[in-house]
Amino acid sequence: MLSLKRESCAEIPILRELAEMAANGKLTKTGPVKNRIDRRHYRLCRVQEELGRLDFKKAAPGVSPEDFIFSRIDFSRYREMKEKDFETLFPMGLEDFGEDFFKKNFGSGRKEIQSLIASSYKKKDGLYMIQRENTLILSVMQTLETSLDDLPLFSPEEINMELSNFPLLSNDGKINGKLPPKAEKLFPLLLASLDGVLIPHKDSMTTKLFINKEGDLAATFRPGDKPWTRVLLPG
C-alpha cells in the first residue's frame, strides 16, 4: 500500500487542492487554485460594480459606448486602496495574465509592471497610498483589477512540474519511483473530477465548477448575486 509523506504535499500544491476538490466536492482551504478562483471572482465583482454605475441615457449624442464606459471609470479609487483589495490582486494577481497581455496593454513586461506598482505605492494604516500618480499607473491598476483576459486556471506545465515532484513511497518510507510527467493524459481526468465542485468566497457567494458541452472546465460565478459563466480551462 502506498502513502505520501506529508512534507511532499508542499511540493504539489495544485494537485493537493485538486484532490481535495474531487474528494470533498468543494474547496475552502487557501492555495494557488483557490486564490486564482477568488481573484477571478473579485474581478467580476468589480466589473459588475462598474456596469451597475452605467446609465447610457446620460451619454452625449455621438459618443461611442466604449468612450462612455471609459469616461465613467472612477480612477480615484486607485489613489488609495484598502489593504485587502490591494493584496488580493498584487503582486500574485499579475501571474493571472500572460506576458503578451502586459506587452499589448502597457508596452512593458510583467516584471516591469510589478516594479512600477511596488514603487508607486506605500502601505500606511491599513491602506496602500499612491506615491507618484500618473496616467500609466492608474491605467495599470484599473486594467489589472477588471480585466477578464486571464490565463487558464492552471497549465500542463505546472502539472508536469508537480508530477516530477510526486514521489511514490512505500509504508517503510522508501522511494519506489516517480510518476512520469504526462499531464496531457492526466488533464481529462482532472477536469472530470472537478465537475460540480463548489468554491465559497468570503462575501458569501459561491462559484460552481462544471464541464460544459465542449468539454471545457467552466464556472458560474455570482458577483453581486448575478450569474456570470466563464471557461477556466479548455477541455
What are the pLDDT digits (tens) for 208-234? 999 999 999 999 999 999 999 999 998
- Give the number of domains in the chain: 1
Amino acid present at 100: D
- Where does the pLDDT of residue 6 fall: very low under 50, low under 70, confident under 90, or very high at 90 and above? very low
What's the domain range around 139?
A: 1-235
- Where does the pLDDT of residue 187 fall: very low under 50, low under 70, confident under 90, or very high at 90 and above? confident
Q: State pLDDT tens for residues 19-60.
A: 899 889 988 888 999 999 999 999 999 989 888 776 656 666
What pLDDT sits at residue 4? Answer: 47
What pLDDT sits at residue 51? Answer: 81
Give the E-state strand segments of 69-138 in sequence order. Answer: 80-82, 121-124, 127-130
- As a whole number, the mean pLDDT across the chain is 83
Q: Answer with the residue of higher pLDDT: 65 or 132.
A: 132
Q: Answer with the residue of higher pLDDT: 104 or 68.
A: 104
Average pLDDT over residues 74-79: 88
pLDDT score of 2 more than 90: no
Least Cα distance to 27 among 235, 234, 232 occurs for 232
What is the Cα–Cα distance from 44 to 219, expressed in whole angstroms?
12
Helices (H) then strands (E): counts for the chain: 9, 9
Residues β-bridged to residue 130: 121
Cell of 124: 500606511
Would you say 17 and 30 are in contact if contact means Cβ atoms under 8 Å apart? no
What pLDDT sits at residue 170? Answer: 45
How distant, in Å, are the alpha carbons of 65, 112, 196 from that of 187?
40, 33, 17
Taking the model in full, what pTM does it have?
0.84
